C-alpha cells in the first residue's frame, strides 16, 4: 500500500515566550527565558515560587466572548493557536473539505482550573450552583471538540492523553491518519493550562518542581545542578496535510513529517525506565518509520525536563540509538526557556523542530553551566547555533511510561 507523504503547512502558538510563532522563535533563538514569579497561585503556599506563565493573552482576539466564557483556559489556548495555524496555512474549511479535515489535540490534565473553581462552588453553595458547562469545560478532549466546532472541521476528531507526551502522540497519530488516507488535513498538537493550586500541590509533592528561586536560572536541562522542572502553559498547533492536497492548493510547506515512534516503559508511574530503554525504542521506531539513516539526523529537540533521571536517561537513549553519531548531532532543550508545558510541550517543540529545519538554526539550552559527566552530548549550550538542519527529531516522555518521538525533514 502506498502511503501518503505528509507535510507541515501552518503553525500557531501560545507560549510563555510569546503568543505568535515569530515572537516565540525570535525569543528562543536569542535565549530569552519566559519564566518568572508565579502569579496564578499564592506562592506563599508552596515551596516553588516560579512558573512559565503565558502573558497578555486575550481570548477575545480569537473567538467570540460568549464562546470563550464556556471554555476552560486550556481550550481557549488551543482555539487561539489553531486559528493562527489555519491563518498561517491559508486553509479555509468549508463544505468542500470539512469532512476530510480532522482535529487531534492532546492535553495532559485538561480543565483543572474549572474543576477547582466549580468544586469550591459545590462545597460552598451546593450542587445547584455548579455550572451546567462544568463537564464540557473540564474534559481533556474538549480542546479538540471546540476547535472542530469553531472552524467546522468534520473529519476524525480525537484527543490523546499521555501526560507529557500528549502533544507529540497527537501529532504522530494525526500524521498516521493522513498517511493512510483517512483525511487530507489535520489540525493537531497539544494544549495545557495547569497553573492551579492542585496542580502545583501535586507536582510539588511528587518532588518534580524546581525549588530554585531565581526564575531565569531555574530550568537547567542537562546541567549538573538541575533540581526539577518549571511548570509552563500554552498551546502548539500544526496544520498537517497530504503532500498532494497541499500542492493542489499551492500551500507553502515548512517541512515534511516522516517518522513517528511510540512505546511504553512498563516500569513505573513517574520514573523513566533505566537507561531510557523505552525512549530509545520510540526514537528507533521513528527513524525506522521515516526510512532514514541514523547519521542523517542533525538535531534533536530533547524532552530535557531539567530533572535528574529524565535528562540522564534521555542522553543514554540517544547514545543507544545513534551510537557514535550521538556525539556529532546536536540536542537542545527549549524547556530551559519555556518551562515544561506538560501535555502541550510536544506541540510547541514540534513547531520548534520544524522551524529549526526551515531556518537552519538550533535553539540553545540555556543555563548550561556545570557539565554532568552522565550527560556528555552536545546540548547547544547557552547560544543558538546556525547550522544546516535537514532532519530533526522531537522527543516527549510522559508519566506512566509513555514515550513518543517525531521525525521531520526538509521538504524536497
Query: Where residue 136 sits, what CATH number does that domain have?
Result: 3.40.47.10
**Does residue 2 form part of some domain?**
no
> What is the rounded average pLDDT of the residues 266-283?
92
Query: Is 341 part of a structural domain of the chain?
Result: yes
Query: CA dist 213 to 227, 309, 366, Å?
Result: 11, 22, 16
| Residue of 320, 328, 298, 272 whose CA lies nearest to 407 | 298
Percent of the chain with pLDDT over 90: 97
**What CA–CA distances, in Å, run from 203 to 167, 227, 399?**
19, 13, 11
Confidence of residue 343 (pLDDT cuts 50, 70, 90): very high
- Rounded CA separation 59/67 (Å): 10
Average pLDDT, the chain: 97
**What is the model's pLDDT at position 62?**
97
The reply to whether 164 belongs to the active site is yes
Closest of 315, 318, 352 to residue 168, by C-alpha: 352
Give the lowest-confidence range in 14-28, 262-276, 311-325: 262-276
Domain that holds residue 42: 8-401
Is residue 1 pLDDT above 80, yes or no?
no
**pLDDT higher than 90, residue 271:** no
248 found inside a domain = yes
pLDDT confidence bin for 149, thresholds 50/70/90: very high
The pLDDT assigned to 2 comes to 87
Q: Each residue of 290-332: pLDDT tens digit?
A: 999 999 999 999 999 999 999 999 999 999 999 999 999 999 9
pLDDT score of 146 = 98
**Strand ordering across the sheet containing 255-264:** 157-158, 101-106, 185-192, 234-242, 6-14, 255-264, 402-409, 391-398, 299-301, 330-332
Local confidence band at 389 (pLDDT 50, 70, 90 cut-offs): very high
Is 406 inside a domain boundary?
no
Q: Band of the pLDDT at 270, cuts 50, 70, 90?
A: confident
pLDDT computed for residue 171 by the predictor: 98
Residue 274 within any structural domain of the chain: yes
CA distances in angstroms from 278 to 175, 268, 341, 345, 396, listed in the order given: 21, 12, 21, 19, 11
Q: How confident is the model over 261-267, as a mean pLDDT?
A: 95
pLDDT tens digits along 32-83? 999 999 999 999 999 999 999 999 999 999 999 999 999 999 999 999 999 9
Read off the pTM.
0.98
Which pLDDT value is given to residue 330? 98
Residue 410: per-residue pLDDT:
98
Helix 73-89 / helix 142-151 crossing angle, nearest 10 deg: 40
C-alpha cell, 239: 496544520
In a domain, 117, yes or no: yes
Residue 47, Cβ neighbours under 10 Å: how many? 11
Residue 274 predicted with pLDDT over 90:
no
Could you say which of 159, 164, 258, 375 is catalytic? 164
Could you read off the pLDDT of 102-127 as tens digits, one per residue?
999 999 999 999 999 999 999 999 99
Domain-located, residue 410:
no
For a pLDDT cut of 70, what percent of the chain falls above it? 100
3-state secondary structure at position 47? coil
Q: For residue 394, how many C-alpha atoms fall within 13 Å in the half-sphere facing its CB? A: 33
Q: What is the mean pLDDT of residues 380-389?
A: 98
Q: How many domains does the chain have?
A: 1
Q: Does any domain span residue 88?
A: yes
Residue whose C-alpha cell reads 509552563 in the numeric block? 232
Amino acid at each position: 500500500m502506498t502511503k501518503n507523504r505528509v507535510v507541515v503547512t501552518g503553525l500557531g502558538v501560545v507560549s510563555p515566550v510569546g503568543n505568535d510563532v515569530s515572537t516565540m522563535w525570535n525569543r528562543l533563538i536569542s535565549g530569552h527565558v519566559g519564566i518568572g514569579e508565579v502569579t496564578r497561585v499564592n506562592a506563599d503556599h508552596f515551596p516553588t515560587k516560579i512558573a512559565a506563565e503565558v502573558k497578555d493573552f486575550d481570548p477575545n482576539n480569537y473567538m467570540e466572548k460568549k464562546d470563550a466564557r464556556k471554555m476552560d483556559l486550556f481550550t481557549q489556548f488551543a482555539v487561539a493557536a489553531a486559528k493562527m495555524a489555519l491563518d498561517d496555512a491559508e486553509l479555509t474549511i468549508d463544505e468542500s473539505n470539512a469532512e476530510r479535515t480532522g482535529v487531534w489535540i492532546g492535553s495532559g490534565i485538561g480543565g483543572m482550573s474549572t474543576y477547582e473553581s466549580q468544586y469550591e462552588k459545590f462545597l460552598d453553595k451546593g450542587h445547584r450552583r455548579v455550572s451546567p458547562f462544568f463537564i464540557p469545560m473540564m474534559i481533556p478532549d474538549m480542546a479538540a471538540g471546540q476547535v472542530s466546532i469553531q472552524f467546522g472541521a468534520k473529519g476524525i476528531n480525537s484527543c490523546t492523553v499521555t501526560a507529557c507526551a500528549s502533544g507529540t502522540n497527537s501529532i504522530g497519530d494525526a500524521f498516521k491518519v493522513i498517511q493512510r488516507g483517512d483525511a487530507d488535513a489535520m489540525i493537531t498538537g497539544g494544549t495545557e493550562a495547569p497553573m492551579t493550586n492542585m496542580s502545583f500541590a501535586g507536582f510539588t509533592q511528587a518532588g518534580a518542581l524546581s525549588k530554585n528561586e531565581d526564575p531565569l536560572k531555574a530550568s537547567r536541562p542537562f546541567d549538573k545542578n538541575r533540581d526539577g522542572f518549571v511548570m509552563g502553559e500554552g498551546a502548539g498547533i500544526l496544520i498537517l496535510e497530504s503532500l498532494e492536497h497541499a500542492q493542489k492548493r499551492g500551500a507553502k510547506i515548512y517541512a515534511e513529517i516522516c517518522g513517528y515512534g511510540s512505546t511504553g516503559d512498563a516500569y513505573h508511574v513517574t520514573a523513566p525506565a533505566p537507561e531510557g530503554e523505552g525512549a530509545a525504542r520510540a526514537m528507533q521506531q521513528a527513524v525506522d518509520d521515516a526510512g532514514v539513516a541514523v547519521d542523517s539526523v542533525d538535531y534533536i529537540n530533547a524532552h530535557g525536563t531539567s530533572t535528574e533521571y529524565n535528562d540522564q536517561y534521555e542522553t543514554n537513549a540517544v547514545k543507544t540509538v545513534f551510537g557514535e553519531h550521538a556525539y556529532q548531532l546536536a540536542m537542545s532543550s527549549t524547556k530551559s526557556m519555556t518551562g515544561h508545558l506538560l501535555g502541550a510541550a510536544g506541540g510547541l517543540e514540534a513547531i520548534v523542530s520544524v522551524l529549526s529545519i526551515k531556518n537552519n538554526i538550533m535553539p540553545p539550552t540555556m543555563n548550561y553551566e556545570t557539565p554532568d559527566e552522565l550527560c556528555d552530548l552536545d546540548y547547544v549550550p547557552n547560544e543558538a547555533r546556525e547550522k544546516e538542519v535537514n532532519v530533526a527529531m522531537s522527543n516527549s516522555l510522559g508519566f506512566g511510561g509513555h514515550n513518543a518521538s517525531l521525525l521531520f525533514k526538509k521538504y524536497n
